[in-house]
Amino acid sequence: MCGIIGYTGHRPAVPLILEGLHRLEYRGYDSSGVCFVQNKELNVVRAKGKLTALEEKLAGMEISLATTGIGHTRWATHGEPNESNAHPHKSFAGNLSLVHNGIIENYQETKKELLAKGIQFFSDTDSEVLVNAVANELRPGVPLLEAFAAALRKSTGAYAVALLSPDEPNTIYAARHSAPLLLGVGMGENFVASDIPAFLPYTKDVVFLEDGEIVRITPTTWEVFSLATLAPVAKKAQRIQWDMQAAEKGGFRHFMLKEIFEQPSVITNCTASRIQGGSVNVPELAQKPVPSRLRIVACGTSFHAGMWAQPLFEEWAGIPTTVEIASEFRYRNPILEKGEAVLVISQSGETADTLAALRIAREKGCLVLGLCNVVGSSIAREADTVVYTQAGPEISVASTKALCSQMVVLLLMALHWGKAKGTLAPEIMQQAVAGLATLPGQLEETLPNLQTEAKNLAWRFAACKGMLFMGRGQAYPLALEGALKVKELSYIHAEGYASGEMKHGPIALIEPDFPSFILAPHDALFPKNKSNLEEVQARRGPVIALTNPPKPGFELNATHLWIIPEAWGPLGGFLQLAALQMLSYETACHLGNDVDQPRNLAKSVTVE
C-alpha cells in the first residue's frame, strides 16, 4: 500500500522525507513524490518507478532551505502508475498539496461537481479530487482546518492524508479513516507517517491516531481534533520499544533473510512472559470466558496460521474451531452462535478484509479476539481483546517471522484454554513447555543448514514451470504456505495440496520436470505420506521429501531427502516452515527477483 511521511522541523526536510520513504518501500509502490515548502511556495517533484528516479530528479534542485514537506510512495489503485498519477497532487489553484493512501469511493460525484465549477484535473486519481474538494471549501475567513474537515466529512471510503499550504509554511494537516497514520513527536520537529520505521531514527514517541481524528502539526506543537466537531481530543504520546536495528537489515542481504533468522528469538520473546513455573498463562485471555466455539478469520499467511492451530484448539481445549478466509466471511452473512468467539489474525492489523470481518463479528455480538503484530493498529484497537505476537517490525512483504510468532501464540492460547477447561492432559503441558524451551536453540542451529540445502534445491529446480507442495494434518497448511511463498517471491506457479487429495486431480500434473515437495515428518501420518510419495515417483515425478533423520520404520526412498531435526509434536512445524521459507527465498534470489518487494504485492492490504 501507499506510504506517507510528513515532516516539519529544523532539519532539511527533503533528504529526511526521502530516507523515510525508503523505510516505507516495503509497503510496495510504483511511483513516488515529494512536496516541500520553500520561499512560501509549494514545490512538487514526482517520478514513476523506484525512489532512485525521484532522487535523480531532485539531485539538481535547490532544496536545502525547505524544513517542511510531505512525501509519498504510490501503489496504483485509480489510474496507471505514471508521473501524473503520482502524489503529491496540487489543487487546480495551486494553493494546496496533498498525499493520500486509500480509496475515496464517491470521488466521481465530487469530480463532476468540481468540473462544473471549472476545476481542471490532470490525473486519473481520486486523490486529486480530494485536494480540490478541500480547496473548494476554503473560502475567505474559513480556516484550513475547517475546510479540510468539511471535505473529509463529505468523502466516503478509506484515507490517510497529509496536506500542505504555502500560507502556513510550517504546518502539516493530516487525518485518517480506515488507513494507517501515526504521529511522531520529536524535539522541535514532528512527523506524520504510515508506519513507525519512517521516523524511527528521530523519535520513538508515537501518538496512535484513531479513525475520525484530524491533526495539525508544527515544529513545536501537535494537536488532535475530532473530525466531526473539531473539538480537541486529548492524546498521549507512547514510547515504543523498537530500535533502529530492528528496522535495518543488520548485515543481511535482504530483510526477508534477516527475518527468517530472527525466528528463534521471536519464539523466545513470544513465550517469555507467557510461560511460568512449567505452565502457560496468556494474561490477555484471563478476564474473558473460554469460548464454546472458535471462528478464526484471516488472509494469506495469517490464514495459514489459523489452519495450523485449528487441531490444537480442538484436541487440547475441546473447542470446535473453524477457519475462514476473511474476504469470504465478510460477504456471506455467517451464522455465529452464542458463546462463539471470533479470532482475527493479522500481522499488520490493517488488512481491509480482516478488519471488515472483525466489524461484522462485533455487530453480531460476538467476543472478538485479535492476534496482531503491529501495536496500535486498527484491528488491535477494535478487537475486544488483543494478543500481541511480539515479532518486532516485519519489513519484507513476504511474511515469515510473523507467521512463526502467530503459530507460537496460537499454540499457547490452546494450552491456556485447555488448562482453563481441564481438557488438557498434564503431560501435554509438560512436553509443550519443555519443547518450546529447546526449540529456539534447535532452530538457530538448523537455519544455516536449511539455507545451504535450499540454495542447492534452488539451483536444481528454479527453472521449472511449476511445483507441488503436499502435506497432511498440520503439515497441510505449511504446504499451502510453501506454495504461497514460492508464488509470491519466485513467480513460479506452485500448488499447495493435502497429500490425500492428490489422486483427485493434481496427480495429472506429474511429469519428469515437475518437482513435488512432500512434508513427511515422523508422525502418525508418515505411512500415508509415504504412499503418496510412491505414487508420484511411479509417474517419474521428482520428489523432495522434507523429513526427519532416518530411523527404523520410517524409511523413505525419494529423489531427494531433505532431512531436518525432529521436534516434539506440533513443534516440528517450525522447522518445516523455516525450510520452506528458505526454499522460496533462495529460489527468488537465484532468479534475481526483488525479494523484499515482490511485484504487484503490498505489505499491508488496506483496500479490498
User: Which of 457, 465, 403 lies closest to 584 in space, CA to CA?
Assistant: 457
Q: Which residue minimizes CB distance to ligand M6R?
A: 300
Which listed range, 42-50, 216-224, 395-403, 522-530, lies at the site for ligand M6R (CB under 6 A)? 395-403
List of residues 6+ apart from 403 with CB closer than 8 A: 301, 302, 304, 305, 481, 577
Which listed range, 54-62, 295-303, 519-527, 561-569, lies at the site for ligand M6R (CB under 6 A)? 295-303
Which of 398, 407, 480, 558: binder of ligand M6R (CB under 6 A)? 398
Which residue number, 460 or 487, has a Cβ lying nearer to ligand M6R? 487
DSSP reduced 3-state for 369: strand
Which listed range, 56-64, 177-185, 269-277, 300-308, lies at the site for ligand M6R (CB under 6 A)? 300-308
Q: How far is the CB of 33 from ligand M6R (least distance, A)?
A: 25
Which residue number, 219 or 598, has a Cβ lying nearer to ligand M6R? 598
User: Which of 226, 200, 231 lies closest to 214 in space, CA to CA?
Assistant: 226
Which of 63, 397, 404, 518: binder of ligand M6R (CB under 6 A)? 397
Q: How far is the CB of 417 from ligand M6R (least distance, A)?
A: 22
Q: What is the DSSP string of 136-163?
A: HH--TT--HHHHHHHHHHT--EEEEEEE
Q: Tell me which residues in 435-494 interact with ligand M6R (CB under 6 A).
A: 488
Q: Known catalytic residue: 2?
A: yes
Catalytic residue among 2, 299, 372, 589: 2
Which listed range, 4-12, 272-280, 296-304, 511-519, lies at the site for ligand M6R (CB under 6 A)? 296-304
For ligand M6R (CB under 6 A), the number of binding residues is 16
Binding mask 543-582 vs ligand M6R (x if CB under 6 A, - otherwise)? ----------------------------------------
Alpha helices in 364-473 (DSSP H): 378-382, 401-421, 426-461
Q: Tell me which residues in 488-547 interact with ligand M6R (CB under 6 A).
A: 488
What one-letter code names the amino acid at 241? Q
Q: Known catalytic residue: 503?
A: no
Contact by Cβ (8 Å): 587, 581 = no
Which residue number, 6 or 598, has a Cβ lying nearer to ligand M6R? 598
Burial class for 200, CB neighbours closer than 10 Å (0-12, 13-18, 19+): buried
Q: Does 321 bind ligand M6R (CB under 6 A)?
A: no
Q: How far is the CB of 347 from ligand M6R (least distance, A)?
A: 4
Alpha helices in 247-340 (DSSP H): 255-261, 263-272, 300-317, 326-329
Which residue number, 36 or 303, has a Cβ lying nearer to ligand M6R? 303
DSSP reduced 3-state for 232: strand
Distance CA 12, CA 67 (A): 5
Radius of gyration for the chain, computed over Cα atoms and rounded to the nearest angstrom: 26
Which of 184, 300, 393, 482: binder of ligand M6R (CB under 6 A)? 300
Q: Which residues of 442-480 are buried (b: 16+ CB within 10 A; e: fewer)?
A: bbeebbeebbebbbebbeebbebeebbbbbbbbbbbbbb
Q: How far is the CB of 416 from ligand M6R (least distance, A)?
A: 22
Q: Angle at Cα 584 formed by Cα 583 and Cα 590, nearest 5°?
A: 90
Q: Tell me which residues in 328-347 interact with ligand M6R (CB under 6 A).
A: 346-347
Which residue number, 178 or 532, has a Cβ lying nearer to ligand M6R? 178
Q: How far is the CB of 26 from ligand M6R (least distance, A)?
A: 11
Which of 215, 247, 299, 519: binder of ligand M6R (CB under 6 A)? 299
Q: At what angle do helices 426-461 and 263-272 cross, to 10 degrees?
A: 160
List of residues 6+ apart from 232 with CB closer than 8 A: 223, 224, 225, 226
Binding mask 348-387 vs ligand M6R (x if CB under 6 A, - otherwise)? x--x--x---------------------------------
Q: How far is the CB of 307 from ligand M6R (least distance, A)?
A: 13
- Contacts by residues 564-570 (CB-CB < 8 Å, ≥ 24 positions apart): 564/446, 564/450, 565/442, 565/446, 566/521, 566/522, 567/435, 567/439, 567/442, 568/431, 568/432, 568/434, 568/435, 569/431, 569/432, 569/435, 570/308, 570/312, 570/411, 570/474
Which residue number, 408 or 605, has a Cβ lying nearer to ligand M6R? 605
Which of 418, 605, 606, 607: binder of ligand M6R (CB under 6 A)? 605
Q: How far is the CB of 348 from ligand M6R (least distance, A)?
A: 3
Distance CA 127, CA 249 (A): 33
Contact by Cβ (8 Å): 548, 530 = no
Backbone angles phi, psi at 74, to 5 degrees: -105, 135
Binding mask 250-289 vs ligand M6R (x if CB under 6 A, - otherwise)? ----------------------------------------
Q: How far is the CB of 199 from ligand M6R (least distance, A)?
A: 21
Burial class for 524, CB neighbours closer than 10 Å (0-12, 13-18, 19+): exposed
Entry field: residues in the chain: 608
Q: How far is the CB of 186 from ligand M6R (least distance, A)?
A: 28
Which of 43, 132, 194, 302: binder of ligand M6R (CB under 6 A)? 302
DSSP reduced 3-state for 268: helix
What one-letter code names the amino acid at 120? Q
Which residue number, 178 or 442, has a Cβ lying nearer to ligand M6R? 178
Which of 399, 499, 547, 584: binder of ligand M6R (CB under 6 A)? 399
Q: Does 192 bind ligand M6R (CB under 6 A)?
A: no
- CB atoms under 10 Å from CB of 246, counted, come to 18
User: Which of 184, 176, 5, 198 lies closest to 87 in space, CA to CA?
Assistant: 5
Q: How far is the CB of 485 from ligand M6R (least distance, A)?
A: 6
Q: How far is the CB of 316 from ligand M6R (least distance, A)?
A: 24
- CB atoms under 10 Å from CB of 377, counted, come to 26
Which residue number, 205 or 353, has a Cβ lying nearer to ligand M6R? 353
Which residue number, 68 or 351, has a Cβ lying nearer to ligand M6R? 351
Backbone angles phi, psi at 79, to 5 degrees: 90, 150
Catalytic residue among 204, 258, 530, 603: 603
What one-letter code names the amino acid at 524? A
Q: Which residues bind ligand M6R (CB under 6 A)?
A: 299-302, 346-348, 351, 354, 397-399, 488, 601, 604-605
> Could you list the active site residues?
2, 603
